[in-house]
Structure formats: C-alpha cells, structure tokens
C-alpha cells in the first residue's frame, strides 16, 4: 500500500514555529515555515538539517504558507535565502502582500533592538518574496505534473487559507490556523467534502469549548469603558494585523453607540497601512463587511486617530493600540513603562505571549519588571488577558472533520496533553486513526489505492440497464464483469465480445447433442405439446439460473456444458 | 448545459427614448400609421421622425426563445462574463428552472450592477401605456422596423425582485477551479482577458474536451491576461463573441478619442460619452486623464453618472486578484489598482447616481466630459444630456461602445447640431487574432456562427475578415435556431479499481503486445463515480469467470482422452479444419472446428462431463 509520511519540524505537539514536512507519491512538500518568537538562538528556526546539510532545493518540491503570522512564515527568508531553496512558494494574495511587511518589522526588532547576528536582511525578504506564487481560493494549481494544490478559506486572519494537496491518488488537507465561527471582520472556514486521505489540523484550543464570543466582547468593552470613565489610560498591545482590526471595529461601533469622547489612537505606521490592506482585500472579509463597503468601508475609522509619541504624557483618558503585541520591544513597551505605575490605567493583552517577553511576565502577575539597563518598572496598572484569537475550538475541529470526511486525522500546533484528549475523542467519534507526532518524529499513514482505468461505455451502460430493470432492492449489490484489454499502452475494460474483437481472437464454443428415445403412441405433434408443457417449468427454472450467472458474464463453457 | 445567457437588446433601437423630464421634441413627434390601415387601436403607438418610425412604449427586449428548449430541463448555466448574463432573470425565474448557475466573483458582482442599472433606468421613467398593436403591422412599417427580429417574442424588462432571486442562484467560482457537474463532467473557467472576471470554459470528461470560447482579448488592458494553455487540443472548440468592429483597431480608436476630447474641450465644448458603467470605461478614465493633463485641459472635470457609479468604482478596486499583474502588484504596496480612486480623491473624476442627485448641480461645470448610460441612448441620463447639448455644434458625442449602431441610436433625436464621433472600442478578438488562436489551439472541430465564415456585411470585399479554413480542424457553422450535432461520440468512461481487485488481475498474452484479463467485482456507483470493489470473501471463488478461446490441438486432445482411459478414438478429417473424432465404445462423436466443438453423445452425464473437461483443458483461457 502506498504511504504518506509526515514529519513536523515545528508545531509537533507544540504551539509556535509551524513547519511540517509531507512526503507522498515521491514528492516532498513543506507546509508552513514559521519561527518561534520565544527564542533568540538557533531554536527559533526549524531544524532544516533534518532535511539536508546543504541547500534544500533538491529535496523539497514546493513550500506552502497558510497565512502571514510569523509562527507560520517567519523562517521563510532564512530557509530560502540562507539555507538555500529556489523552488516555488505558494500563498494567497493577501498573505503575499502582508507577510513581507511583518517579516521586515520582525527583522528590525530582532537586529536593531536586540542586536541579533546572522539574521536575514531586507534584501533577502525581497528576494524570497520573488519566489512566491500567489493563489486564489478554489483555484486548482498544478505545481508540477503531479502535485495539485487548492486553497480554501480559513478565516483565521486576512488571507488565511487551508490547502488541499494531491499527488497521484493520494490527498492531504493542511488547515494552517482556522476559525469555524465568523467574527467581526472574517468569515468562517469552509471546505467541501473532499475526502482526503489525511487531514492535518491545528489544535490550539483542542480542549476548549470557547464561551460565547459576544460575552467576551461585552466584557472587554465594559472594562475599557470603566477605565476611561475613571480617567485612566488603556494600552492594548497588538500585532499590526488581525486582532487589531477586529478590536478597532469593536471599539469604533461602541464609541459611536455610547457617544464616548475619549480619544482612541492607533500607533502610526504599520497598523494604518495595514488597514489599507484590509480595504483592498475586502473580498476576503466576511459577508457583512463586503456588503456594506461601498457605503462605508469598515476600515475607515472615524473615532480612531493616528498616535504620536508626544501623546504619551497627555492628561486625561485615552485608548491606545500599539505594536508589538507581546511587549518585547518598540512603542508598546515604551508606553507601558510610562503608564504601568498608575493604578488608574489598564493594559489589555489580547493575545498569546511567549516566554521571556514582558507581556508573559506581567500576565503571570509580575508586580515589578526589570529591564536590561537595570531600570525597574512597578506594575500598578490593572492587567487583563483577553483571548480573541481566532482558532477553531474542539467543536470546530470536529465540525471540520465532519465536513471534509478524511480517512485519517493528524493534530499539530497544540499542546501535547490537550492533543491526547482530542485524539481520543476523534478516534471514538469518527472511528478513524488520529496521529500527533512530536517534532522530528515521522508518522507513516498507508492509504488504499484506487487505480483509474478506462471502461467502455457499452459495458457500463449494459450493466446499468440490467440493474435498473431489476426491481429496486437496497440490499442488492451491483456487480461488474469485464475483460481488461491491455494493448500497447492502452488499457481498457470492455465486455468479453468486444475484448475478443479488439484482440482479434475468437471464443471457443462447445455444443452437446444427445438423442432421447420416447415411446408415445399418437401423432408426434401431441407428443411435442406434452413435452413442451412438461419442460416449460423445468427449463424456465434452468434459464433463470443461467441468467443469474449471465449477470456476471458467467456464460461460455458452462452454458455449453448444460 | 446552457452556455451564457445574453439578452438581445437591438430591439431597443425601435423604441422612443425614455426621458424623466418630458421632452418637447420627443413628445411632439407626429403619429405614424401604415398607409392603408386605420386601426384605432394602433393610433398613437408609432411615432415618426425623419424616415424612421419608433414605438412609443416602454422598451422591450428579445430574450433567448423559450420554444426551443424547456428551461426547467437545464442543469447548469455557465456565464462567461458580465455582459453575457443580462437575460438570466428571464431564464431562471418563473420557468421552473432548478439548475445551477456558475460565474466568477467579478462577473456576479459587476453583472449585478449592470442588471440593476438597467432596471433602475427603465423603472424611473414609467410610461402610462404599453403599445402592443404595432406588432401586428410590422410588415407594413418602413425599414428597419419591418425587419425587426421576432417582435412578438419581445418582453418587458424584469423587476428588481427577479434580479435578486436570479442572481442568488449563482455559484461563484475562481479561475482554474475544477467544478464537478454531477460527477459526469468537469468544468473549468479559464481567464479570457476580456474584462474583469471574464472566462472561457473548458468542459471535459476523461476522454473528451469541449472548449467554449466567449468574449476574449489578447490585448493588454486591465483584466488578467487570457489563459491559452487550458484551451489547447480540444475535440470541439465553440468560438463566439469575436469583435463587432472588425475593421477598426481599438488602439487607434483610443487615439482618435483622445484627440476628439482634447479638441472639443479646448474649443469650449462638452464631450458626452455614452457607456456602460464598467469595462473599457476604467481604461478611458486612466487614459483620458493623462491625455487631458498633456493637452492642458486637466481643469475640465470628468463626470461619471450612473445609478451604480459608486459601486462600480469601489468594486473595481477590490478585485485585485482578477487584474493584470501590473495592476495586481499595486495592492502589494498597498495602492489602489486603478488610478480612478486617485482621480476621485483629487476631484478630477466626480461620480453621481443621477443628474438630479444631491450635489451634481453645484459641482457641474462646463466644459467637461460626461460618461453616462445607456449606450443605446434609449434611457438613462444620457437622454437628458443629448437634450441639453444636442443643439450646440461645439459639443461632441463620442460613441465608444460597439453594441449599437450609432446612426440608429441617434435617429429619434435628429436633427442634431452636436458633433458625432464614432470610436468604437472593442477589445475582443479580431479575425486575425482568432485565426492565429485556432492555429495554436488545434481543435479537431471548430464551431462558429455562420456569419464568421463570410466577410462582414459592412465590408463584403474584405475577404480576410473571416474564420479561414484550418487544415487540422473541421469547421461547423451554425445559425440561429439550428440544431447541430457535434462529432463527438463518447466511447469510454472511467472506473476505479481498488487494490485487492487489482491484485487479482492476471494478464494473459493472447498475441504479441495484447494481454487480456477478466475483472469481476462489486460495482459501487456514487455521484456517477464507478468503483470496483472486491467481493466479500465467502463467494469469491465461483465468480471468477474465465474464457476459452482459439482451437483445439488434436494430438493433445487424443493424449488427454487416453489418460482418461478412452483409447479407441478414431480420427477422421473432413477437409478444411474440420476433424471428427469417433469414440466407438462410448458411441460419441466429437466434431472439432475452428473455435467450436460439437459433441454428439447419448451416454450419461458422467461421460459428457469428462469430455467437457478434456476439451476445456486443451483450450487457451484468459
């Protein structure tokens, strides 16, 4: 039986640094190429030496990037320009537009702020993006003669896609990160009943059935409103794209409805530009935004204004969105240092923070944060964590499995313990195999083969005709019998007579004749009638039996034998 | 399967224009009656201007005729581009249609704009009465009304509810998306380069391929370039929607247009460009704004007036994935792909829903360029602009859309002083391009409208303006209403064999290079996909049928008889290949011929079985 081999180089029983190797039908495909935000050493990039010590081009046929988050595409320039890969890279149009900006942003933070050596350069990002081929949803793309890929809407961030990959008769769906419930600006993930041999699904929220999103939003707005009412300042560290837009829509409509006057600011630069991407790629957002964008583009915010560093010391309440999201550098950290000591202020962390970042520390309740220059900041402001992350929860993952009907499931991009739980559940509920390999561990999935062959229409039609002539019976099995003719390189299934004709041979017919003597006085015609009457019943039964066999084409010598 | 769903709108030219401000000129046209008729019902239905007669009634359209086929039997409709779907509500609503309609996202979005615009244009000018009697007197009317095509089948326009209901049936597809049609066919849209989201369709099974080529363009304008590759080596290529202006070339027409606009504006005149709210008009905005800058008339504003102007401008800038790579790359910056977004921001291009919309009268300044619909000049704001500017020879009306004859379009308004320029820009394939394409694509059979096989009526001497004969392709011309048979006979389908069935295949070489093997299995048909699976183990053996073939070897046969203890066989040749074997003790006669054996035996069942087995052992099997 043919096999599909999957080896995670990242995202195997962990979150962060997605990078999965897929081998099937003699082709090797890399799914995502992410970096780990929590590390500063070589562990931040996937271990490409697993594949080869030299350039990767001879070993990888194509790279597929699911969306622009750096834990899914952050290692791409490193892989293509520094390790060496010249083959095609596939991603959707919005991902192609936004990924280089995030990569550049991260490069700046890493090189200029942290002083990292051996990091890729701006030019490398540009060179890498030249290798990218943008795909549209549902378009069937032939990577080469054997690999076919197709993108489906994943809803996780703008341009996020799930990919269906087919080589020969085998197929795999890789979900990337996805979201099964529509949110304020994105739609829900969707896939058709493509019945892949393997579904590789993320499982960030493998055990959670998330509470109603509306409640969390209400909670968030209430907290912001209270803080602003008491004259406090609200800091929301965000990544430029994704959650930021959703929270902006949320605050914008709330401000409008409640007629609030406190200013909302957006850190200049990246985020503002980011809104432009959302305007341009409005076809990737949800139904509601698409419908109303002509009258009012959801991403033209009335209440949200550009932020200037001088505003940090302004008196009075305000809400500020600033990058980066984990408070590890940049403007958000600068604002944090100023506002943290005042208990009237509040910080809302809307996303996951990796270990080692200031964000991670304060979320764990640190009351004092020490910086490199021995500066110590007291944290008196209230710290709130609020997850708006758009991942599928356990229910969503089960839904997706139901939608696409895979033969096997593999869980990646989640915590090991949670995966185990979900794995059990999937095996029980769907009675299918579920895998969750660790990084560097290879799962081998064997798949049944189906060999497509040509069949003559007359064979198929005569079978269909016979079958439909029979009284309907749901238990009746249909059978097909034919002769496979292999002539030169042509292979075709046909009925036996056509096959003989095609091969230029004749079937052998055996005939038996016996003479039976009867003694019946009277005219011979009467005898004939008598015989006819007697035989009618007998022969009918025999013919019936024969026809039954003929169904299978079981005529020939046996028929002659009777 | 229905390929496209276009609406013939030539009928419009026989009607009087609809004006929402009553026009003295049009209202006071004299009635016309056929010379020998005095039917009072006909009174007032026909009006006369110059040598033309017009119907005074809400305009009517000529939808695809419903007598030929039953629309409820149509399974799918494929829409090539937004100009080929104007009849969709006539087909899908109220006909029992239950099928699916496939179109790309821009085709649906922009097509919706065109359908809505049409409905708004007509509904905003309600007429008191519908004329119908004139249809009985068409033969008595002067040209061109007397040659009107099947006027009794003409219909009033649909309403907005039918538009919405009809469009809600459309399933959006992307280029190169493989669409499965009931498991029987695969349909793939391929970019045709003609307009935003325009597609050619590849309809295929495992063995047959039909390509439907509709509006296509090899010119570089704003849409994604045409995809040739997918169209190659078809069994049948159906080619339609070639250029309507075979004599002129779109580039030089654009040049003329720019000169005319420049001259008119410099002379203090206004330019009126009747147009659709989408399509080439995007290129005109881009090209004209540049040219006006060059000519120093950039202070003259451009007005774009259509009930869907704002939607059209907005949609064009969010459909980056469907644009040429130059335009597409702009969104990576991120910039709007079309410069008209900038032109709107800088007030060079102003758009309004109607001329009576708020703000238009304050913004309106002359001289200016006005883009507005409808190109037939029978409804829409263009009617008012002709009233306004028609008597001033400094103004100019420029026809850029190729769909309507401009002389006929202007006929009800004559006499006019306004200058008239005809710069029809049709980017569809011309005959040279089409012939080259056919040579590249090499279809076995080419199906084209009959009119493409003859020089155009307007230029009968230009014999090169035809689809020429191609050595690799048979040409089948078709006419309206004709039923043609495509030379395509399906002989083979596809079945899938599962592993354990495949493992039992034992090919027997019956002749050099030809092997045979029987296959028997459970047939599972789901969504027209045939799978052959293994029998469950219990009754596997007796279903493995083999076939004997060829002739018996007489020596081998006698040997085997001997082994069974039958030694008294007497062999007698009857000439030819006929041999008779006489078993004297058993009283049996066996006649052996090519491919057949006849056993005459009155003995018991046992002997017959023995003989049968021996014969079968001596035969070759597969």
pLDDT-wise least confident of A501-515, A528-542, B218-232, B539-553? B539-553
C-alpha B479/C-alpha B240 separation (Å) is 12
Residues paired with B508 in a beta bridge: B516
pLDDT for residue A185: 83
Q: pLDDT value at position A560?
A: 33
What's the whole-model pTM score? 0.89
Q: Please, is B150 exposed, middle or buried when counting C-beta atoms within 10 Å of its C-beta (0-12, 13-18, 19+)?
A: middle
Contact A557 B525 (CB under 8 A): no
User: Between chains, do B332 and A97 touch, taking CB under 8 Å as contact?
Assistant: yes
Which listed residue (A42, A104, A148, A202) is catalytic?
Answer: A202
Contact (CB<8Å) A512/B318: no
CB contact under 8 A, B549 and A505: yes
Cα torsion B121, B123, B127, B129: sign: positive
| CB A172, CB A165: distance < 8 Å | yes
Q: What pLDDT does residue A25 have?
A: 93
Tell me the CB-side half-sphere exposure of residue A429, using CA atoms within 13 A.
Answer: 15
Encoded tokens for B591: 């006649």
Task: Please give the Cα distance from A516 to B602 (Å, whole number).
Answer: 7
Place of tokens 């064997």: A446
A202 included as an active-site residue: yes
H or E segment to which residue B398 belongs: strand B396-399
Tell how strand A62-64 and strand A27-31 pair up. Answer: parallel
Q: A133 in contact with B at a CB cutoff of 8 Å?
A: no
Q: Is B622 on the interface with A (CB under 8 A)?
A: yes
Interface check for B529 against chain A (CB to CB < 8 A): the answer is: no
Q: Per DSSP, what are the bridge partners of residue A132?
A: A89
Question: CA–CA separation, B579 vs A200, rounded Å?
Answer: 70
- For residue A114, pLDDT over 80 is answered with no
Question: Which segment of A302-311, A452-461, B219-228 scores lowest on mean pLDDT?
Answer: A302-311
Q: pLDDT digit string (tens) for A446-501?
A: 998 888 999 999 999 999 999 889 888 888 888 899 999 998 888 999 999 999 99
State how far the Cα of A2 lies from the Cα of A167, in Å rounded to an integer.
11
> Residues of B numbered 486-515 whose beta carbons fall under 8 angstroms of chain A's beta carbons: which are they?
490-499, 502, 505, 507, 510-511, 513-515
Q: Are B150 and B13 in contact (CB under 8 A)?
A: no
ipTM score of complex: 0.87
Q: What is the pLDDT of residues A319-375, one digit of tens each?
A: 999 888 778 778 888 999 999 999 999 999 887 676 677 888 898 888 998 887 888
At B22, list the tokens. Answer: 């009553």
| Average pLDDT over all residues of chain A | 87
Digit-coded pLDDT (tens) for A202-241: 998 877 766 666 788 888 999 999 999 999 999 999 877 7
Q: A1 or A280, which is more confident? A: A280
State yes or no: pLDDT of A68 exceeds 80.
yes
Residue A550: its pLDDT value, please? 37
Percentage of chain B lying above the pLDDT 90 cut: 66
What residues in B contact A488, CB-CB < 8 Å?
Answer: 513
Q: Chain A 426-465, CB below 8 Å of chain B: which residues? A: 448-457, 460, 463-464
DSSP codes joined into one string, B348-363: SEEEESSTTSTTHHHH
- Chain B neighbors of A486, CB-CB under 8 A: 507, 514-517
Please tell me the predicted confidence (pLDDT) of residue B586.
79
What Å distances lie between residue A241 and A66, A221, A375, CA to CA? 15, 20, 31
Please name which of A549, A484, A25, A168 lies closest in space to residue B502, comparing C-alpha atoms: A484
Alpha carbon distance A174, A162 (integer Å): 6
CB contact under 8 A, B547 and A456: no
B528: three-class secondary structure by DSSP: coil
Q: Count the alpha carbons within 13 Å of B203 in the hemisphere toward its beta carbon.
A: 19
- Whether B505 sits inside 8 A of A484 (CB atoms) is yes
A93 contact partners, CB below 8 Å, separation of at least 6: A134, A135, A136, A159, A281, B320, B321, B328, B331
């Amino acid at each position: 039986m043919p096999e599909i081999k999957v080896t995670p180089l990242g995202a195997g029983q962990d979150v962060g640094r997605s990078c999965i190797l897929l081998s099937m039908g003699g082709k090797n495909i890399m799914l995502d190429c992410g970096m780990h935000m929590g590390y500063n050493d070589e562990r931040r990039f996937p271990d490409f030496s697993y594949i080869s010590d030299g350039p990767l081009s001879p070993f990888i046929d194509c790279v597929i990037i699911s969306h622009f988050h750096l834990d899914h595409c952050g290692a791409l320039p490193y892989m293509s320009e520094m390790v060496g890969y010249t083959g095609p890279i596939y991603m959707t149009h919005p991902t192609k537009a936004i990924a280089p900006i995030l990569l550049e942003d991260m490069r700046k933070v890493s090189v200029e702020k942290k002083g990292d050596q051996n990091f890729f350069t701006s030019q490398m990002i540009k060179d890498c993006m030249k290798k990218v081929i943008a795909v549209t949803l549902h378009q069937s793309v032939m990577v080469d003669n054997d690999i076919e890929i197709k993108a489906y809407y994943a809803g996780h961030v703008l341009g996020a896609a799930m990919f269906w990959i087919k080589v020969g008769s085998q197929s795999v769906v890789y979900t990337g990160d996805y979201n099964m419930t529509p949110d304020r600006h994105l739609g829900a993930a969707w896939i058709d009943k493509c019945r892949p041999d393997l579904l590789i699904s993320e499982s960030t929220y493998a055990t959670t059935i998330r509470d109603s999103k509306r409640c969390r939003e209400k909670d968030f707005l209430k907290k912001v409103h209270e803080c602003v009412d008491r004259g406090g300042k609200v800091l929301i560290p965000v990544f430029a794209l994704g959650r930021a837009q959703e929270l902006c829509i949320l605050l914008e409509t709330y401000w409008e409805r409640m007629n609030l006057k406190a200013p909302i600011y957006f850190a200049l630069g990246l985020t503002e530009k980011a809104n432009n991407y959302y305007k341009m790629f409005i076809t990737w957002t949800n139904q509601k935004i698409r419908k109303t964008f002509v009258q009012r583009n959801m991403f033209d915010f009335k209440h949200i204004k550009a932020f200037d560093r001088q505003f940090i010391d302004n008196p009075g309440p305000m809400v500020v969105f600033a990058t980066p999201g984990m408070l590890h550098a940049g403007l958000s950290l600068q604002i944090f240092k100023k506002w943290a000591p005042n208990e009237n202020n509040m910080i809302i962390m809307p996303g996951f923070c990796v270990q080692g970042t200031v964000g991670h520390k304060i979320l764990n309740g640190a009351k004092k944060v020490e910086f490199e220059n021995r500066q110590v900041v007291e944290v008196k402001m209230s710290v709130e964590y609020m997850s708006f992350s758009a991942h599928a929860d356990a229910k969503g993952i089960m839904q997706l499995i139901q939608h696409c009907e895979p033969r096997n499931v593999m869980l990646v991009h989640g915590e090991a313990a949670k995966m185990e739980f979900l794995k059990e559940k999937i095996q029980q509920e769907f009675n299918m195999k579920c895998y969750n390999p660790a990084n560097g561990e290879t799962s081998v999935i064997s798949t049944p083969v189906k060999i497509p062959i040509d069949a003559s229409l007359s064979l198929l039609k005569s079978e269909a005709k016979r079958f439909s002539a029979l009284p309907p019976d749901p238990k009746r099995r249909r059978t097909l019998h034919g002769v496979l003719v292999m002539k030169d390189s042509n292979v075709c299934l046909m009925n036996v007579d056509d096959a003989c004709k095609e091969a230029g041979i004749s079937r052998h017919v055996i005939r038996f004749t016996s003479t039976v003597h009867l003694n019946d006085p009277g005219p011979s015609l009467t005898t004939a009638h008598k015989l006819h009457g007697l035989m009618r019943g007998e022969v009918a039964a025999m013919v019936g039996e024969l026809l039954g066999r003929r169904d299978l084409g079981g005529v020939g010598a046996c028929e002659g034998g009777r | 399967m229905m390929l496209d769903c276009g609406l013939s709108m030539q009928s419009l030219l026989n009607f009087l224009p609809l004006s929402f401000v009553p026009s003295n000129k049009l209202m006071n046209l004299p009635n016309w009656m056929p010379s020998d008729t005095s039917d009072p019902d006909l009174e007032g239905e026909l009006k006369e201007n110059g040598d033309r007669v017009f119907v005074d009634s809400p305009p009517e359209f000529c939808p695809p005729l419903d007598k030929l086929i039953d629309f409820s039997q149509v399974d799918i409709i494929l829409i090539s581009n937004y100009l080929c779907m104007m009849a969709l509500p006539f087909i899908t609503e109220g006909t029992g249609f239950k099928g699916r309609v496939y179109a790309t996202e821009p085709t649906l979005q922009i097509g919706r704009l065109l359908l809505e615009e049409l409905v708004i244009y007509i509904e905003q000018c309600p007429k008191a009465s519908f004329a119908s009697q004139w249809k009985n007197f068409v033969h008595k009317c002067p040209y061109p009304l007397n040659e009107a095509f099947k006027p009794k089948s003409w219909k009033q326009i649909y309403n907005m509810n039918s538009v919405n209901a009809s469009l809600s049936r459309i399933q959006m597809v992307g280029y190169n998306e493989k669409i499965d049609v009931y498991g029987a066919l695969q349909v793939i849209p391929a970019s045709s380069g003609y307009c935003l989201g325009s597609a050619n369709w590849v309809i295929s099974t495992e063995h047959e391929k039909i390509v439907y080529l509709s509006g296509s363009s090899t010119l570089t304008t704003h849409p994604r370039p045409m995809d040739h590759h997918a169209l190659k080596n078809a069994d049948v290529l159906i080619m339609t929607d070639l250029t309507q202006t075979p004599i002129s070339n779109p580039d030089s027409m654009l040049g003329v247009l720019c000169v005319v606009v420049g001259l008119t504006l410099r002379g203090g005149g206004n330019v009126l460009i009747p147009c659709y709210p989408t399509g080439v008009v995007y290129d005109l905005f881009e090209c004209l704004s540049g040219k006006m800058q060059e000519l120093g008339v950039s202070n003259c504003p451009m007005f774009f007036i259509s009930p869907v102007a704002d939607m059209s401008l907005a949609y064009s800038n969010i459909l980056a994935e469907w644009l040429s790579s130059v335009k597409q790359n702009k969104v990576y910056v991120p910039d709007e792909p079309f410069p008209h977004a900038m032109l709107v921001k800088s007030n060079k291009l102003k758009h309004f829903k109607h001329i009576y919309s708020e703000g238009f009268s304050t913004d309106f300044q002359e001289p200016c360029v006005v883009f507005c619909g409808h190109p037939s000049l029978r409804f829409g704001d263009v009617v008012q602009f002709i009233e306004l500017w028609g008597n001033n020879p400094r103004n100019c009306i420029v026809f850029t859309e190729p769909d309507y004859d401009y002389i006929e379009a202007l006929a009800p308004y004559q006499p006019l002083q306004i200058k008239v320029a005809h710069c029809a820009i049709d980017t569809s394939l011309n005959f040279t391009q089409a012939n080259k394409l056919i040579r590249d694509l090499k279809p076995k059979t080419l199906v084209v409208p009959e009119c493409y096989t003859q020089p155009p009526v307007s230029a009968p001497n230009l014999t090169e303006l035809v689809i020429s004969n191609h050595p690799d392709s048979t040409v089948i011309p078709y006419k309206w209403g004709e039923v043609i048979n495509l030379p395509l006979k399906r002989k083979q389908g596809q079945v899938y064999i599962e592993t354990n069935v495949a493992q039992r295949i034992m090919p027997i070489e019956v002749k050099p290079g030809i092997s045979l093997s029987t296959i028997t299995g459970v047939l599972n048909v789901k969504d027209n996909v045939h799978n052959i699976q293994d029998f469950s183990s219990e009754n596997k053996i007796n279903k493995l049928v083999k076939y004997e073939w060829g002739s018996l070897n007489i020596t081998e046969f006698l040997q085997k008889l001997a082994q069974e203890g039958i030694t008294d066989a007497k062999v007698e040749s009857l000439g030819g290949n006929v041999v008779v074997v006489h078993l004297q003790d058993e009283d049996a006669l066996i006649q052996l011929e090519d491919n057949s054996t006849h056993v005459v035996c009155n003995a018991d069942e046992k002997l017959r079985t023995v003989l049968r087995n021996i014969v079968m052992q001596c035969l070759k099997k597969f």
